[in-house]
Chain A
Amino acid sequence: MIRIVLIRIGRALLAVWIAITAAFLILRLLPGGPVALMLDGVHDPQIEAQLIAQYGLDQPLITQYFLFLWQTAQGNLGTSFYSLTPVADILLTRLPWTLLLAGSALTVTLLIGIPLGVYGSVKKDGWADQFLRFFGMAGQALFVPAVAVVLLIIFALNLGWAPIGGAIDSQAVSAGDQFLSVLRHLALPLISLAFVQLGPYALTVRTNMLQILGSDFIRSAKSRGIPVRTIIWKHGVRNAIIPAVTLAGIQLGALVSGAVLTETVFAYPGVGRLIYESVLRQDYPVLQGAFILLAVTVVLANLTTDFVVVAIDPKLRTGSRS
């Protein structure tokens, strides 16, 4: 067991290292460069040289890379080229919003997706199952920003039920007002994100459930007169949940990357929108810090689901197979 844990942690660290190295290299391969964009056409070779030296961009690439690794290992994510603010501080102000959005979307996906998938499998080919299958395919085909814009036009602009953008109204003063304002601003981004994730997730649960419900041990449980509800929830869901838990970890990665587009459309002040704005400016330290954060988040989520799955399925603890 300890060996399994150590191996998985080692793989996670390797994945994070590959991700941040790729991010470092890709940024520096982008044409133009942050100084050119920062000066935006102001031609002053002296200022240009000064900025390039200040940001360490005149150093050889390998030197920049090892300096970046060394600083990251010490917990120093650098300073924004533009605002001169520590990247860690910038991310800390934005991260809660992304956690709220992605976490809420994942929660909604799990809370609705699992029961929906189970119901679809039990009522196979019924109207609910057919709706689920259609919904699942639509979710896979739809593009988050497209859903977001449609929701904005219908519910914000035409019906006035939600604001166009932002995360909280500045006029909300009391804790209660702030809470409601945050929920109101969260609604449409949450629906956008959850809408495209929910269907495919429920479909996966449905598929797994159908497989389990067709198994010999389920048939034998039925023949022994065990109540249907017990068979479904105690035997069926418990076995079908394992791939769903794994999928949840993968989906967290999709939710976080989907947040980039969602937050941009809704002007939601999370890490996703920060990434979008920083890409336009090629603010290397902010982008590197954000990618590290996202890589660690996704890797941790997958690591967690790995351990949860092992905890659920005793067969996986000893490596034995059914």
Chain B
Amino acid sequence: MKLRRSTGVIAAFVLTALVVSGCSSEASQAPPEGTDRLKIGISTDVVTWQPLNTASVTDTFVTEQPFPALFTLDAENQVQPHVAESWELSDDGSIIRLKLNSDFGWSDGEPITSEDVQFTLDRIASDKLLAGSAVNIGNYSSSEIISDSEIDIKLKQPSYDWALNLARGAKVLPKHVYEDIPDLSQFNISEHPDKWVSGGAYTFSKMVSGQRYEMVPNEFYPDRAAGNEEIALVEFLIYSDMNTLQLALRNGDIDIIAPSIPAASVSPLESDPNLTVVETAKGLNNTKLIFNVGRDTPLRDPIVRQVISGVIDIEQPIKVVFQGHAVPAIGPLLPVDYDTFQPNLKPYSITPAEAKSQLEKAGYSDLSFNFGYDSGVANFVKYAEIIRDLLTEIGIDVKMEGAERSVTLANAKDNQFDLYIGKLNQPYTPATNLNNAYHPANPRGFQYHYFAEEPELATRIEAALFAVTEDEYVDSVKDATKYIHEMAYSHTLYTESIFVAYNSSRFDGIVATGTETQSAIASNSLAQIVPR
């Protein structure tokens, strides 16, 4: 009996050890000693490993590390040279001359050249990669290599905006690594370690799906801050949600949280002496109350839309919902573009009594609208309730139809809502942002506008998209912006700040920019982080 019992215990132990060793990753070299390891927390596993083919922010944190940007954004959201030093548009607006910085190289020792840029644009177009929407690939015609560091990009239709946009979001793929792949949209990088070549600050060394992704420095990356070379390993660790990420940061399990943290979490995290939260108030995003003018409702009348816009206070809700960590918004553009493109726009502002009076004069009473929003986003829920209460005060009945994200998306696409709250990240140029959000033929993001009967809107947006000189561009964007604001197609509620939380007792040099993906975790930004 005793022998059977002890045999059972030993067998259980051996079985456990076998299972555990089967679960654990294969033995690897120990991380480097005497150097530091930067641990970055992300909130979901990376699933889309096709190059430049994901719309997911979380995927982008990791998958686009190897693909350096032509230009980058600084903390003021100003474009800075990176792989490309400069661009110049021809007088007729149809050719962009790009000059590259010859100091940049791929991690296998090959230089980054204009052939790589040509290859990237060609393959984005031919393989229909999702990155194409960021660079308006539809207007790309072809490119001509002038030298290793110079390339002419030819457009189908002249466009100053296209050149500006190239500087905002274009990345580079290594031609010599991917040219033998017939369709990049069907190619999973994670399964091919031989293709782990990077032009960014770090290159993949190990991937454990569902757990972590490890990267080591690309020795051919030229733009590192002094001291950054001490970071010998960057690890992306996967946690399930924002709460767990914050716990992990406070516990020292990670050093940086990749996604922007909610405004409500800023103060609790900052109360920890080891942690710092960097904020940029110049977020490149807008959250809007959208009016569906595609349904046969009084919302087709601009007066109704203007009245609704007028009763919504643009500042008070920000204090309540964001504790001040957001920027009140006016008009359809981003705050960073106000001075240049909408210097004279004034927000709609009327009292509830005036609103009632205007509606009555216009012949409207007993209005009723349904209101869709993603109930999983706390800010949307709070704003929806505030707006409902304001509209109720002026006699408009609002049926709240918050639902889970996929339900909301499906309903919005099926033209089910009168009112809708949606947030759009807008890291692009002003004209492209207007095009993405308002062009009748291009409903985008959560903002399924239906402007099929609005040719005037399309004309003004296209004038901005295809302006050839800078002056024409500024004037046409101003014109389109003014028109959209006067017609009150949507009411911009706020621009969220981007917050980067990190362990400041271990690292320094973290910068927050206008979007999560181009912020502290962007490849070029990682190269500026230094251990304390």
> A interface vs B, CB < 8 Å?
30-33, 36-44, 46-47, 50, 80, 82-85, 90, 93-94, 96-97, 99-100, 103-104, 107, 149, 152-153, 156-157, 160, 163-168, 170-175, 178-179, 181-183, 264-267, 269, 273-274, 276-277, 280-283
Contacts and interface: CB of A to CB of B under 8 A. Distances in A.
B500 to A, nearest CB: 19
Interface of B: 12, 16-17, 19-25, 27-31, 44-45, 47-50, 55-56, 128, 130, 132-133, 186, 188, 190-191, 208-212, 214, 235, 237-241, 243-244, 247-248, 250-251, 253, 405-407, 409-411, 413, 424, 442-446
- Chain B CB count within 10 A is highest, among A42, A94, A182, A280, for A42
A81 B79 CA distance: 35
Given A47-B130, A84-B50, A170-B31, A39 B55 contact: yes
Contact of A42 (B133, B211, B253): B133
A104 B25 CA distance: 20
Given A32-B406, A96-B23, A85 B188 contact: yes
A39 to B, nearest CB: 6
A100 B19 contact: yes
A165 B239 contact: yes
Contact of A276 (B25, B48, B209, B240): B240
Contact of B410 (A36, A149, A160): A36
Contacts of A44: 128, 132-133
A264 B245 CA distance: 12
A310 B434 CA distance: 71
17 contacts: A31-B411, A42-B55, A85-B188, A85-B191, A96-B19, A160-B251, A164-B251, A165-B240, A165-B244, A165-B253, A170-B235, A179-B24, A182-B20, A265-B240, A267-B238, A274-B210, A277-B47
A84 B186 contact: yes
A203 to B, nearest CB: 25
Nearest to A164: B248
A204 to B, nearest CB: 23
A46 B44 contact: no
A280 B25 CA distance: 27
B188 A164 contact: no
A163 B212 CA distance: 15
A32 B407 contact: yes
A157 B251 contact: yes
A181 B186 CA distance: 37
Nearest to B31: A171
A41 B444 contact: yes
Given A36-B409, A41-B444, A44-B132, 12 more contacts: A32-B405, A43-B442, A83-B48, A83-B188, A93-B209, A165-B244, A170-B212, A175-B21, A267-B239, A267-B240, A277-B44, A283-B47
A182 B24 contact: yes
Contacts of A160: 251
B137 to A, nearest CB: 10
Contacts of A172: 24
A164 B27 contact: no
Nearest to B447: A41
B283 to A, nearest CB: 18
A49 to B, nearest CB: 11
Q: Which 8 residue pairs spanning A and B have beta carbons closest together?
A: A32-B406, A269-B210, A41-B445, A40-B55, A31-B410, A82-B47, A164-B248, A96-B23
A265 B250 CA distance: 16
Nearest to A36: B409
Contacts of A36: 406, 409-410, 413
A269 B213 CA distance: 13
Given A36-B413, A39-B130, A269 B211 contact: yes
Contacts of B247: 152-153, 156-157, 164
A113 to B, nearest CB: 16
A157 B253 CA distance: 10
Given A32-B410, A165-B253, A267 B188 contact: no
Contacts of A107: 12
A152 B244 CA distance: 9
Nearest to A149: B243
A37 to B, nearest CB: 6
Nearest to A84: B188
- Chain A CB count within 10 A is highest, among B31, B243, B409, for B409
